[in-house]
Amino acid sequence: MHETPVARPRKGAKCRQPDLTDTRHSLNKTQREEGQKKEKKKKKEKLQAEEEEEEEEEEEEEEEEAKSKDGDEDGERASDWT
């Protein structure tokens, strides 16, 4: 029995690169890059918003601590109670 020949590249031949002139390929690449840029931008904005929220929470906690040290809402100092 004779085996059927298999189509394979010649020894030493380089792999075929995608045709860069193909508009579909280049469009897909640019769309992918734009999508990645948008995702990075969204992530950056989300992180920035989270940091701002954390800073605001810290400021509120500091204000509450300062109030508790100074006194109640009535204006009385903690030292008046002792």
Model pLDDT, residue 76: 57
CA separation, residue 3 to residues 6, 9, 10, 53 (Å): 9, 18, 18, 71
d(CA 46, CA 13): 48
Task: Residue 71: name the closest of 60, 56, 82, 61 by CA.
Answer: 82
Please, which pLDDT band fits residue 11 given cuts at 50, 70 and 90?
confident
> Cα–Cα distance between 9 and 33 in angstroms, integer?
32
Determine the average pLDDT of the residues in 15-40.
Answer: 75
* Local confidence band at 51 (pLDDT 50, 70, 90 cut-offs): very high
